[in-house]
Structure 1
Amino acid sequence: MSEAQLLADLATLGIDFVALEHEAVFTVEESEAIHAALPGAHTKNLFLKNGDGTFWLVTVDHARRVDLKALAPAVGAKKFSFGKAEDMERLLGVTPGAVTPLAAINDRDGQVRVVIDAALVDADRVHVHPLRNTATIGLSGDNLLRALAHWNHPPIIAGIPERA
């Protein structure tokens, strides 16, 4: 699905958002200027593969240092490794650097399980990419959950374990 279709779907659901166009960003460090321009919670996303072959998309606060070993049992998985870019593109329609929970709109077969950091759920603004890393949109945590449920990806809400 295209970004225009994604935004139209959000509008159909009555989900308001703020948007910011910017240079391409690939890391949390590169996105610091965006954080200053858009108050609220900023995210990073992990595309993971479980030991049993299932794929997971984990969205966390940008500052979290995720403990992958502890994360797997916390969300009912076996053992995580990072998913391949080809699988990400095939299943979610995005490339590394543009990963976003909104990409669940492209997973029509439900092959990717979505996890949202519990710290993001009540946020007034959660900032994510709209299927590309040259823009950021902010929507409420509640509206993010509503959109994911609408796309048949009701997320697992979890406390994300951090590395020491």
Structure 2
Amino acid sequence: MNKEETYQYLRNHGVKFEVSEHQAVFNMGELDSVNLAHPEWDAKNLFIRDDKKRHYYLISVRGDKRVDLKAFRKRYGLRALSFASENDLLTIMGLTPGSVTPLGLLNDADRKVHFYLDAEFAGNLIGVHPNDNTATVWLNADVLVNLIKAHGNDVDIVELNR
């Protein structure tokens, strides 16, 4: 799904959302120059894989948080983790670097990616790209989780420390 198809998907599923259009951003540092409606709820998204390239994960956290992958893997009983390749990102979620988003899981036809959402988002807004890094979609995080679960991807809401 491209950006417009993502918006249409959300409308078709009765999802209330708001959009902030902006220049393309490729990392969290570039967001400082962008005017966002709800910057405190913007998500940072990490697409990672295990060392055997058998399991893929998407971790979404508040933008001001860091994720210690070693501690994360130990806490959840996972193998050694590293960032997935651009090719994996394109092949599995149909995304390019800088556009990583939980909405990309809707492109994951094989439901390979396990989604981990920072518990701070539960019951609140979340800002994610609509499969394109020239906009941010603001929607209820619980609604996002339900969309992803309905699609068939595994989802866990987890406590991630600052």
Q: Is the TM-score greater than 0.5?
A: yes
2:31 maps to what in 1?
A: 31
1:19 maps to what in 2?
A: 19
1:43 maps to what in 2?
A: 43
Offset of residue 79 of structure 1: 1.4
Offset of residue 161 of structure 1: 4.2
Other structure's SS at 1:153 match: coil
> With structure 1 as the length reference, what TM-score do the two structures score?
0.90
d(CA) in 2 for partners of 1:16, 1:92: 23
2:108 maps to what in 1?
A: 107
Offset of residue 91 of structure 1: 0.3
For the 8 Å contact 2:26–2:133, the answer to whether it is kept is yes
Residue 56 of structure 2 is aligned to residue 70 of structure 1: no
Residue 85 of structure 2 is aligned to residue 98 of structure 1: no
Other structure's SS at 1:71 match: helix
Could you tell which deviates more after superposition, 45-54 or 18-27? 45-54
d(CA) in 2 for partners of 1:75, 1:8: 35
> With structure 2 as the length reference, what TM-score do the two structures score?
0.91
2:135 maps to what in 1?
A: 135
Could you tell which deviates more after superposition, 25-34 or 81-90? 25-34
- Code of the residue aligned with 1:118 in structure 2: it is A
Offset of residue 5 of structure 1: 2.4
Offset of residue 37 of structure 1: 3.1
d(CA) in 1 for partners of 2:119, 2:81: 19
1:4 maps to what in 2?
A: 4
Which runs of 5 or more structure 2 residues have no equivalent in the other structure?
none
1:83 maps to what in 2?
A: 84
Matches for 1:120-131 after TM superposition, within 5 Å? 120-123=121-124, 125-131=125-131
d(CA) in 2 for partners of 1:25, 1:110: 27
RMSD between aligned alpha carbons?
1.5
For the 8 Å contact 1:145–1:154, the answer to whether it is kept is no
Aligned residues with identical type, % of pairs: 32
